[in-house]
Each structure stands twice: as structure tokens, then as C-alpha cells.
Amino acid sequence: MTIIITAFERSPDGGKGLARDTRVRWALEEVGQPYEVRPVSFRAMKEAAHLARHPFGQIPTYEEGGLVLFETGSIIFHIAERHAGLLPSDAHERARAITWMFAALNTVEPPILELVTAKFQESDKPWSAERIPLIQDRIRARLSQLSTRLGNADWLDGAFSAGDLMMVSILLRLRVSGILNEFPNLTAYVASGEARPAYQRAFDAQLAFNRS
Ligand SMILES: N[C@@H](CCC(=O)N[C@@H](CS)C(=O)NCC(=O)O)C(=O)O
């Protein structure tokens, strides 16, 4: 059955890996599943055909036969459940890898998204200059805890898993802020994720898609 994902017709970052279809492409590359991409414009994202796939009018979505999914957490969990390579078979290790997916999405990503909102949608507000350092400190607090837990390990809990895929995908978005560089082990962790051949293929495919 053909897997179809949706992605920005023209990604705001020009296809440099920051849009969330990258993490879905990466997961599919890790498990060796081919996929097709349906481009959607910003206007089409808010129209009925796409809203039927994604109630919040966003990308990415995932279609496979009669199944339609949205939310990268759910999509990557679905891929990892169905194909070997992203979740360990041992029950406890598997549960811990899934915990890291949730931690990435629910605990690490929110302050990073707050920073993006503050910088790109609220920079004209009179309180913006005071708010941004507060958010940056909240991010630092989270990264400091994550950095302590990771220590000198390559991945968060044993072998590379969907938990790492999600965490690296989220941390990547911080690079431009400079905050990631304050944590050398997290910088190396992200670089290890990006060095994976599956990530490279996903990145290249997204970039080529945006340049076509
Ligand atoms: N929680 C969602 C977030 C999806 C999301 O924010 N997608 C962005 C692209 S990376 C989007 O579609 N933005 C356009 C919009 O919200 O109108 C997920 O993880 O899939």
C-alpha cells in the first residue's frame, strides 16, 4: 500500500529540515518504507479537503490505504509499531523509548515552540524584549536536565530509537538560537542524528522537493 504524506508546497525554511514532515520522512527512511509526498499550499491547508485529513489545517499528514493520521507523534509511533528499526522488542526498553517520544513532544518541544512564536509572531509587542529571555531560560533549564541524563551516551536509552528521532528533530530547531551550542553533549547528540544515512536521505529529499 502506498504511503502518502503531506508537506509544504514551499517550506518557509526552503526545505532545510525544519518543517515537521522531515521527522516523518526520517522515520520512513529508517524503516525502509517508500513514500510519496502530496504538496499543500498554505491556502490549501485550511481548505476542506485538507481539513478532512488534519482538523487543525497543518502538515504533515500520513495516509496508508484507508488510514489517515495527523500529529507527528502518532504518525511516527504508527510507523515504529508496524516496522522494525525504531522500537526495541524488549517490553521495558520499548516502553522507555516511547516515553522519550512523549518527553520530546510534551516536555522539551513546548518552550522551544514558545520561543519561535515570541520571535516570529510577537516581536512587535511591547513586552517581547522582556519575554524572550524568560523563555530562553526555560529552554536552558530543560536542556540542562536532558544534558545531565544523556551524559556521554550516544542515545537516550541504549540503541537509537523513535525517542531519539523525535528528540533530535525537536532540538534541531533550536540550533539557530545558539542555545543548543551551550550544551556540547546535546550538540554532539543532534549531530549524530543528522549523520544517520536515513536522516540524510530524508533531508535531501525534502530539499530537492522544495527546489523542484
Ligand atoms: N503538533 C503537530 C504540529 C504540526 C505543525 O505545527 N505543523 C506546521 C509545519 S511544521 C504547520 O503546518 N504550520 C502551518 C500552520 O499551522 O498553519 C505535529 O507534531 O504534527
The percent of residues above 70 in pLDDT, for the chain, comes to 100
Does the pTM surpass 0.95? The reply is yes
Quick one: pLDDT band at residue 212, thresholds 50, 70, 90?
A: confident
Is residue 191's pLDDT more than 90? yes
6 pocket-lining for ligand 1 (C-beta < 6 Å): no
- The atom number, within ligand 1, closest to the CA of 20 reads 10
Distance from the Cα of residue 43 to its chain's centroid: 23
Q: Which CA distances in Å does 133 have to 88, 116, 144, 201?
A: 39, 13, 16, 36
19 pocket-lining for ligand 1 (C-beta < 6 Å): yes
Tens-place pLDDT, residues 133-181: 999 999 999 999 999 999 999 999 999 999 999 999 999 999 999 999 9
The mean of the pLDDT values for the chain is 97
In the β-sheet with 3-8, what is the strand arrangement from edge to edge? 36-40, 3-8, 61-64, 67-70
170 pocket-lining for ligand 1 (C-beta < 6 Å): no
- The atom number, within ligand 1, closest to the CA of 46 reads 17
What is the per-residue pLDDT for 84? 97
Q: Which of 21, 54, 58 to mutate to test the pocket of ligand 1 (most atoms within 8 A of CB)?
A: 58
Q: Which of 59, 75, 105, 169 to mutate to test the pocket of ligand 1 (most atoms within 8 A of CB)?
A: 59
Q: Whose CA is nearest to atom 16 of ligand 1?
A: 58
Distance between CA atoms of residues 29 and 20, nearest Å? 15
- Sign of the C-alpha dihedral, residues 61, 63, 66, 67? negative
Q: What is the mean pLDDT of residues 71-80?
A: 98
61 pocket-lining for ligand 1 (C-beta < 6 Å): no
